[in-house]
């Protein structure tokens, strides 16, 4: 999609310039992309064509394919190991990525992992100081070759295997070692393979994949189910003769043999696996020889030539070298490929096509098929071409014409894979009848060499006209912002010396000796959050008093100098350890205003100190999902500037998938008050250039957002469950009715609620707060667990693509509130509307809450909407966004027909979900209790 937008921007700029200096010139636009599209990383991966797999480990010395896990590390001693020879072999074969079995099923690690004694560190090789991974990375880097790793989930050595949580934590730790120590990793290889007698346990693939992407954002993840490259379904290196790069990820699971045929055909990038030696081999064995050149070429035509990437295993021997005969065979393989494809006879031909988009000179002519860009320049026919599309190459040389036996076709897959069927003729005789093309399709003609003048007329079947999604309206949310929005409620934990002094703002002169929460139990905090359905907890790692809840090396004003845990405590660490097993993410608040540190007021010195502490927090504690900045400081505080730009840059360098909160974002903005209320009009869009941190004059702008805003910067509503932010004995939690009111005016107005729940001096969340949170979650579940709209028939003003077009009203009642949606037709002139009609009893529906959600992944759109029940208007609203909740001021209504009318929007309104709900806790003035 980014490519498309860039193209549109360039075209627009060109048109404006032309209009300024001369007559306006009509420029042909590219065809719209057909979803799904490959990422930049998937495109780069596809262009590699061949990747080298290196199966190496204790099995190399035992002659087995699957180790038992009981092998002694003492057998691993490749005395002649030379990773430079491996890299040179790959380079000579034109291979740009090497994937090493860092750990196979036997559990033996080719790097000195801190988490096991079953590794090279306990072998005689290099006297226990060796590291195969490090040597490979160093050798590959010198030759410009990228590196990937395979880390077997099945581990026959480690005693934790079979104990689900313990083993998954162990695996995550080893994964983190590999992805942190060795620089950029371009592919990580997962499988679900394990023996029939292996203990039954689940792998936490979702957690593994999330951490991989956090640690290495430019990596491709391979598994049966992707998410970036999928297995082809066999180990012979053959893709299906029909092979789509598109597939339904929801239909896939890792280690499921029943989906192998679906995986092979597709309909996430695809890859083939083939061993270099005999069919079932992974590790090099003395009794084997490399495959014949003819067999390798057959594999190439049926993998790379069928829209896939070939993963070719080349196992080093027990000396630690790739065998001479394997090196030689790889050279022959590369030489053969170069010989076959170095000359393109089509370049000697004239070309005719069925039609040309934009006419002659429109930029989409047939000459694009013969240039060196096989991705972004292409021939495209006209949109209105009724018959099948065709291309004809005609020899312009000798009478005998051209002599060839291989035909290559490539699609511009950056705009989607499209071709379903194609036929190739030579001088009127059909020589190939194929299906998919994709990145590369190679036809090695079964009849052998052909001679012909009309080189090839390719007839492509016309694609079905599939309705395309509406174009997105900028700005758009990032993946991290979408995930944040779906949390709905986040927990804030204000905790520190103020907890022990009964104050809100510390002076900075408090003694660390007062901090002693003798009963602190972060597991109780995490359990409280989990029971309340909360998936992110943000801790005040340092408040304005400057006291640090972790043992910072840069100050003596921290837990390290307190009596708690005898000075060995770390609140941040305990929170992270408690949150992770429950699947709860962690965020941190580090106050810019510091009333303790003497550097405060000395601009450069303090900003350096702040950066150092920020680095400690973001480097020590794993993935941090939100970092919270504010500009709050007292009137008498020294006047100095905070280097927010530098802080934000370092945050993103250290944690690429983090959301940064501040008055000015860049990812999440303050709502402008601490009551937890967003504006009744609340846009996620705003102009960041109009914002500044700590500026009280922009609070109304922050509260409402801006329909013309150029930045996606949704609002977070912070409020405390008590009156104060820190725990005070004199305070009690807010009533349930108040919490629900806050929920409707934050989450129900397109925001996320940041609810502060302060631990007490014992180090626990107070029982009454725990109970109130349970009541709050139970109330939300009670209200929204039943959707009366599901019992209704639905009519809409129109639907994009007609019946079966994929954008029908049924999408508003499924469980996907982001990417499936109702969309009206582009040409609908009147206001858009949705009508729910009760199909039940005569009294109709009884409800007092109406929920509407937009498909915000394609932009926030709705400016104004009205809701009618049996013809009477009950809501006159403005924005919707991710979620709009209308708790009806008149109380419960009974009705048969509910009509939602979209009065005005930025482009087409896209509604992802609608609900009609009954809230038994809502008793407006003048209404009797229900």
689 contacts: CB under 8 Å, gap ≥ 6: none
Q: Given a cut of 80, is residue 251 above it in pLDDT?
A: no
597 in the same domain as 566: yes
Local structure of 6: helix, strand or coil:
helix
| Residue 587 phi, psi (nearest 5) | -130, 165
pLDDT tens, residue by residue, 777-824: 999 999 999 999 999 999 999 999 888 788 999 999 999 999 899 999
Q: What's the pLDDT score for residue 258? A: 58
Of 31-45, 126-140, 323-337, 727-741, which range is least confident?
A: 31-45
Q: Look up the CATH number of the domain holding residue 748.
A: 3.20.20.80
Q: Which residues make beta-bridge pairs with 222?
A: 189, 229
CB 494 within 8 A of CB 542: no
509 in the same domain as 450: no
For residue 193, name the pLDDT band (cuts at 50, 70, 90). Answer: confident
If one compares 224 and 494, the residue with the highest pLDDT of the two is: 494
On whether residue 262 sits in a domain, the answer given is no
Q: How many distinct structural domains can be found in the chain? A: 4
The CA distance from 505 to 483, in Å, is: 32
Average pLDDT value over all residues in the chain: 89
The CA distance from 918 to 747, in Å, is: 17
If one compares 498 and 449, the residue with the highest pLDDT of the two is: 498
Nearest one of 825, 835, 834 to 800, comparing CA atoms: 825
Q: What's the pLDDT score for residue 291? A: 94
Q: What percent of the chain lies above the pLDDT cut of 70?
A: 90
104 burial (CB, 10 Å; 0-12 / 13-18 / 19+) is: buried
On whether residue 7 sits in a domain, the answer given is no
Task: Choose one of 341, 366, 386: the last residue of a domain.
Answer: 341
The CA distance from 601 to 607, in Å, is: 10
Torsion, CA 789, CA 795, CA 801, CA 802, rounded to 10? 130
Supply the pTM of this predicted model.
Answer: 0.59
If one compares 674 and 446, the residue with the highest pLDDT of the two is: 674
580 in the same domain as 547: yes
Q: Given a cut of 80, is residue 277 above it in pLDDT?
A: no
215 contacts: CB under 8 Å, gap ≥ 6: 176, 179, 180
Residue 839, both tokens: 């199909």
Of 120-134, 350-364, 576-590, which range is least confident?
A: 350-364
Question: Strand 845-847 to strand 441-444: parallel, antiparallel, or no bridges (unpaired)?
Answer: unpaired
Nearest one of 480, 670, 482, 703 to 589, comparing CA atoms: 670
Q: What share of the chain is helix, strand, coil (3-state, %, to 5)?
A: 30, 20, 50
CB 528 within 8 A of CB 489: no
On whether residue 274 sits in a domain, the answer given is no
430 in the same domain as 540: no
Residue 339, both tokens: 């010989």
Residue 495, both tokens: 């905790």
- Highest average pLDDT, of 172-181, 321-330, 371-380, comes from 321-330
Q: What's the pLDDT score for residue 283? A: 54
On whether residue 39 sits in a domain, the answer given is no
Question: What is the residue-wise DSSP string for 864-917?
Answer: EEEEEETTEEEEEE---TT-EEEE-TT--EEESEEEEEEEEESSS--EEEEEEE
Task: Choose one of 292, 311, 341: the last residue of a domain.
Answer: 341
- Residue 899 structural domain: 788-917
Q: What's the pLDDT score for residue 261? A: 57
On whether residue 261 sits in a domain, the answer given is no
CA distances from 922 to 481, 883, 889 (A): 31, 19, 9
| Residue 132 phi, psi (nearest 5) | -60, -40
pLDDT tens, residue by residue, 866-920: 999 999 999 999 999 999 999 999 999 999 999 999 999 999 999 999 999 999 9
780 in the same domain as 680: yes
The CA distance from 674 to 663, in Å, is: 13
812 in the same domain as 771: no
- Give ∠ CA 436-441-442 in degrees, rounded to 5: 135
Q: What's the pLDDT score for residue 904? A: 93
Q: What's the pLDDT score for residue 263? A: 45
Of 316-320, 421-425, 732-736, which range is least confident?
A: 421-425
Local structure of 853: helix, strand or coil:
strand
Q: Given a cut of 60, is residue 630 above it in pLDDT?
A: yes
Residue 37, both tokens: 């599209």
For residue 12, name the pLDDT band (cuts at 50, 70, 90). Answer: very low
On whether residue 1 sits in a domain, the answer given is no
203 in the same domain as 64: yes
Angle of the 83-92 helix axis to the 132-142 helix axis, nearest 10: 40
439 in the same domain as 511: no
Of 478-492, 742-756, 821-835, 871-885, which range is least confident?
A: 821-835
Q: What's the pLDDT score for residue 399? A: 65
Q: Look up the CATH number of the domain holding residue 375.
A: 2.60.120.260
Q: What's the pLDDT score for residue 387? A: 67
Q: What's the pLDDT score for residue 281? A: 41
Question: Strand 659-662 to strand 668-670: parallel, antiparallel, or no bridges (unpaired)?
Answer: parallel
Over residues 366-372, the mean pLDDT reads 93
515 in the same domain as 383: no
567 in the same domain as 585: yes
For residue 460, name the pLDDT band (cuts at 50, 70, 90). Answer: low
On whether residue 32 sits in a domain, the answer given is no
Q: Given a cut of 90, is residue 244 above it in pLDDT?
A: yes
927 contacts: CB under 8 Å, gap ≥ 6: 890, 891, 892
On whether residue 12 sits in a domain, the answer given is no
745 in the same domain as 695: yes
Task: Choose one of 320, 341, 362: the last residue of a domain.
Answer: 341
Local structure of 194: helix, strand or coil:
coil
Q: What's the pLDDT score for residue 285? A: 57
356 in the same domain as 315: no
Q: Given a cut of 70, is residue 700 above it in pLDDT?
A: yes
pLDDT tens, residue by residue, 588-599: 999 999 999 999
Residue 195 CB coordination number (10 Å): 9
């Amino acid at each position: 999609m980014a490519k498309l937008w860039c193209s549109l921007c360039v075209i627009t700029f060109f048109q404006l310039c032309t209009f300024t200096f001369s007559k306006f010139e009509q420029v042909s636009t590219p065809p719209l992309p057909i979803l799904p599209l490959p990422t930049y990383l998937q495109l780069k991966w596809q262009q590699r064509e061949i990747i080298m797999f290196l199966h190496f480990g204790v099995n190399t010395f035992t002659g087995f394919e699957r180790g038992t896990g009981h092998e002694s590390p003492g057998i691993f001693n490749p005395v002649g190991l030379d990773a430079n020879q491996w890299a040179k072999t790959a380079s000579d074969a034109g291979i740009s990525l090497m994937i090493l079995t860092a750990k196979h099923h036997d559990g033996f690690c080719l790097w000195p992992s801190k988490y096991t004694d079953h590794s090279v560190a306990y072998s005689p090789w290099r006297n226990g100081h060796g590291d195969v991974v490090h040597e490979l990375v160093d050798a590959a880097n010198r030759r410009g070759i990228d590196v990937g790793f395979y880390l077997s989930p099945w581990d026959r050595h480690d005693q934790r295997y079979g104990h689900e949580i313990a083993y998954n934590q162990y695996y995550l730790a080893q994964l983190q070692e590999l992805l942190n120590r060795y620089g950029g990793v371009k592919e990580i290889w997962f499988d679900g393979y394990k023996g029939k007698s292996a203990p039954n346990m689940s792998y936490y693939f979702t957690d593994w994949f999330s951490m991989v992407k956090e640690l290495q954002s430019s990596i491709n993840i391979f598994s049966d189910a992707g998410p970036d490259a999928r297995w082809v379904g066999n180990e012979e290196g053959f893709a299906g003769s029909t092979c789509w790069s598109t597939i339904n990820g929801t239909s896939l699971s890792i280690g499921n043999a029943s989906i192998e045929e679906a995986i092979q055909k597709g309909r996430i990038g695809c890859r083939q696996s083939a061993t270099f030696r005999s069919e079932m081999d992974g590790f090099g064995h003395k009794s084997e020889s490399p495959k014949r050149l003819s067999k390798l070429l057959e594999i190439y035509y049926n993998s790379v030539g069928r829209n896939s990437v070939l993963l070719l295993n080349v196992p080093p021997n027990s000396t630690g070298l790739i065998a001479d005969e394997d090196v030689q065979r790889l050279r022959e393989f590369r030489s053969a490929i170069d010989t076959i494809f170095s000359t393109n006879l089509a370049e000697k031909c004239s070309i005719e096509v069925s039609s040309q988009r934009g006419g002659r000179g429109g930029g989409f002519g047939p000459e694009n098929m013969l240039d060196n860009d096989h991705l972004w320049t292409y021939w495209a026919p006209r949109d209105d071409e009724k018959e099948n599309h065709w291309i004809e190459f005609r020899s312009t040389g000798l009478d005998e014409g051209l002599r060839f036996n291989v035909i290559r076709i490539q699609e511009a897959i950056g705009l989607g894979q499209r071709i379903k069927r194609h036929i190739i003729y030579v001088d009127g005789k059909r020589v190939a009848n194929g299906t998919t093309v994709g990145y590369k399709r190679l036809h090695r003609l079964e009849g052998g060499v052909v001679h012909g003048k009309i080189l090839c007329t390719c007839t492509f079947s016309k694609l079905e006209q599939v309705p395309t999604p509406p174009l997105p309206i900028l700005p758009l949310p990032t993946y991290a912002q979408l995930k944040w929005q779906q949390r709905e409620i986040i927990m804030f934990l204000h905790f520190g010396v103020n907890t022990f002094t009964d104050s809100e703002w510390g002076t900075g002169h408090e003694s660390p000796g007062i901090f002693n929460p003798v009963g602190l139990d972060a597991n109780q905090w995490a359990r409280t959050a989990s029971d309340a359905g909360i998936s992110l907890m943000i801790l005040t790692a340092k408040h304005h008093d400057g006291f640090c809840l972790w043992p910072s090396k840069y100050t003596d004003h921290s837990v390290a100098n307190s009596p708690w845990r005898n000075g060995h405590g770390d609140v941040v660490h305990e929170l992270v350890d408690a949150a992770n097993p429950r699947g709860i993410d962690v965020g941190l608040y580090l106050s810019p205003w510091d009333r303790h540190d003497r550097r405060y007021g000395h601009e450069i010195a303090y900003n350096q100190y702040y950066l150092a502490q920020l680095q400690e927090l973001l480097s020590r504690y794993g993935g941090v999902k939100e970092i919270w900045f504010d500009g709050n400081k007292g009137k008498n505080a020294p006047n100095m500037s905070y280097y927010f730009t530098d802080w934000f840059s370092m945050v993103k360098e250290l944690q690429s998938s983090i959301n940064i909160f501040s008055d000015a974002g860049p990812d999440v903005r303050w709502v402008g008050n601490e009551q937890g209320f967003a504006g009744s009009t609340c846009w996620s869009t705003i102009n960041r250039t109009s914002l500044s941190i700590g500026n009280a004059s922009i609070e109304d702008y922050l509260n409402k957002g801006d329909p013309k805003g150029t930045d996606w910067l949704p609002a977070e509503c912070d409020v405390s469950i008590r009156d104060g932010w820190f725990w005070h004995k004199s305070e009690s939690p807010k009533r349930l009715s108040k919490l629900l009111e806050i929920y409707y005016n934050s989450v129900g107005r397109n925001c996320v609620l940041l609810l502060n729940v302060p631990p007490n001096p014992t180090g626990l969340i107070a029982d009454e707060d725990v109970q109130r949170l349970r009541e709050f979650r139970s109330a939300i579940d009670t209200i929204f667990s039943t959707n009366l709209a599901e019992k209704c028939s639905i009519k809409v003003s129109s639907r994009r693509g007609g019946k079966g077009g994929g954008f029908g009203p049924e999408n508003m009642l499924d469980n996907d509130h982001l990417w499936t949606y109702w969309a009206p037709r582009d040409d609908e002139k009147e206001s858009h509307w949705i009508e729910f009609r009760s199909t039940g009893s005569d009294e109709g529906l009884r409800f007092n809450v109406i929920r509407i959600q937009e498909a915000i992944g394609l932009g926030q759109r709705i400016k104004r909407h009205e809701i009618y029940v049996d013809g009477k208007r009950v809501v006159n609203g403005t924005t919707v966004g991710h979620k709009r909740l209308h708790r009806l001021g008149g109380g419960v209504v009974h009705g048969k027909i509910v009509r939602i009318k979209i009065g005005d929007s930025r482009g087409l309104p896209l509604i992802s979900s609608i609900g009609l709900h009954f809230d038994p806790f809502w008793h407006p003035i003048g209404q009797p209790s229900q």
